[in-house]
Amino acid sequence: MPTPQSPQLPTVNTVLTETLLEGIRSRAPGYDEANAFPYEDLTALREAGYLGALTPRAEGGLGWDFSTVVAAQRTLAMHSPATALAVNMHLVWNGVASVLSQQGDDSLAFVRRESAAGEVFAFGISEPGNDAVLFDSDTVAEPLPDGSYRFTGTKIFTSLSPVWTRLGIFGKTPDGGHLVFGFLDRSAPGWAADSSSWDMLGMRATHSHTTTLNGAMVPAERILRRTPAGPNADPLTFGVFASFLTFLAAVYTGIGDRAVELAVQRLGRRRSKTTGQPLAQDPVLRYKTAEASLRQLTMDAQLRSVAESIDAGAELGTEWFPRLVANKTQAVRTAKAQADFALEASGGASYHRQNELSRIYRDVMAGVFHPSDDESAHNTLASFMLGPVESE
Ligand SMILES: Cc1cc2nc3c(=O)[nH]c(=O)nc-3n(C[C@H](O)[C@H](O)[C@H](O)COP(=O)(O)OP(=O)(O)OC[C@H]3O[C@@H](n4cnc5c(N)ncnc54)[C@H](O)[C@@H]3O)c2cc1C
């Protein structure tokens, strides 16, 4: 397994160059203000080979592992949270392909190959009011005699809507027995994206539109799996959770990194009229900065350890889900706490609508909606500690 230090692999810094990152940062306020999709960012990332981050070198990719992608997504989120969250959805499917391949299942090799060739994979999983997330679906997956399926239903918050070329979706068979996962091609008939209600508080550049599937056909060779409906131990389910929760944690940790960085910069620049000294010398603000550092360093250790465990194929058994969920939950909580701290420490200037911290404050709120949300995370952790809720 390659490591982030492997000399033959491109490093994060050589792919996400300073010029590329500064371009992304400079465009972020404009995309947010105009509620526009970051086409230029996607083009720059594609040209840098970033879409093939998890594709082996021999297949034209960067050959990175989870730990390196986590480091890269963190860096990207420091420059544009929305662009990082959008491209995260593409990387999630590639992460699933990597986890499966680590277990000797190369059925998703085409995802990594096509990603390196510039195709964009999106994550069409969320459905309105479906708190069962991956274990149930209101979308109907109707089987056809040749092994293909027609999908009918509504997917919400499909990030990358304007550009995806492959949409990973799932639905339930009409008899209710199975969940079917497949990749819809953009050129297939029977689907539509509705951008009309896309006017969100934050993460505006993700353009996560509602996708309506109306008999959208996925051919047999693009059907990934049929799993039993309900909780199941299929490696695909593990792959989606491991990849989604870990890369998401990386994005929110990067948002926290940036909030603290901005706070520290401003504490160095702002001066107290009373003492004449920079606010960085104020004992209370020093204490608060130390608390922020404590949170960020703890998060850093947790995130790295989860990514390294995935890379190592660690045998964590029933601890896997609690660990993955705790990492995502803690990343979002930490990022929110850092945004709070940074706004307070930076003074009223950061309250201007176009100030970067003000945007971070809006963007970070999206974290509470992504699975596992706080209720679901607590259910997972309570069941891990106390066993399932007993019915009387
Ligand atoms: C910025 C952002 C990006 C995301 N990106 C992705 C992604 O790429 N892929 C993914 O699978 N999930 C994505 N999600 C979804 C997210 O992770 C959660 O699954 C989702 O927010 C949970 O929604 P809910 O059940 O709390 O919301 P709900 O309140 O149930 O619904 C939320 C959204 O669904 C719309 N909606 C509700 N009912 C209907 C209906 N009947 N018909 C049409 N629209 C309806 C609402 O207008 C609202 O926009 C994203 C979320 C955010 C905030």
What superfamily in CATH does domain 12-120 come from? Acyl-CoA dehydrogenase/oxidase, N-terminal domain (1.10.540.10)
Q: Which contacts (CB < 8 Å, 24+ apart) does range 368-371 have?
A: 368/332, 368/336, 369/157, 370/248, 370/328, 370/332, 371/126, 371/133, 371/244
The residue whose CA has the least distance to atom 7 of ligand 1 is 158
Cβ–Cβ < 8 Å for 68, 135: no
The residue whose CA has the least distance to atom 40 of ligand 1 is 128
**Mutate which of 90, 126, 363 for ligand 1 pocket (most atoms within 8 A of beta carbon):** 126
pLDDT at residue 8 in the model: 81
pLDDT at residue 391 in the model: 79
Cβ–Cβ < 8 Å for 172, 229: yes
| 157 CA → ligand 1 middle, Å | 4
Pocket of ligand 1 (CB under 6 A): 89, 123-126, 128-129, 154, 156-159, 197, 203, 206, 208, 210, 366, 369-371
User: Count of alpha carbons within 13 Å of 368, Cβ hemisphere only?
Assistant: 11
pLDDT tens column, 151-192: 999 999 999 999 999 999 999 999 999 999 999 999 999 999
Extract the runs of DSSP E, i.e. beta strands, from 307-385. Answer: none
Both structure tokens of 302: 């947790």
pLDDT tens column, 106-123: 999 999 999 999 999 999
**Dist CA 377 CA 220 (whole Å):** 35
Q: What is the CA radius of gyration of the chain?
A: 21
Fold adopted by 122-228: Butyryl-CoA Dehydrogenase, subunit A; domain 2 (2.40.110)
Mean confidence (pLDDT) of the chain: 96
DSSP 156-201: EEETTTTT-SEEEEEEE-TTSSEEEEEEEETTSSSEEEE-TT---S
**Dist CA 384 CA 381 (whole Å):** 5
pLDDT at residue 265 in the model: 97
Predicted TM-score of the model (pTM):
0.96
DSSP-derived pairing of the beta strands 178-185 and 121-124: unpaired
Run means of pLDDT, 10 residues per run, the chain, 392 residues:
61 98 98 98 98 97 98 98 98 98 95 98 96 94 98 98 98 97 98 96 98 98 94 92 98 98 97 94 97 98 98 95 98 98 95 96 97 92 93 74
- Ligand 1 atom with the shortest distance to the CA of 82: 1
Domain boundaries, the chain: 12-120, 122-228, 235-386
Which amino acid type is present at position 162?
Answer: P
pLDDT at residue 6 in the model: 52
pLDDT at residue 7 in the model: 54
pLDDT at residue 338 in the model: 98
Q: Kindly report the CATH number that applies to the domain delimited by 235-386.
A: 1.20.140.10
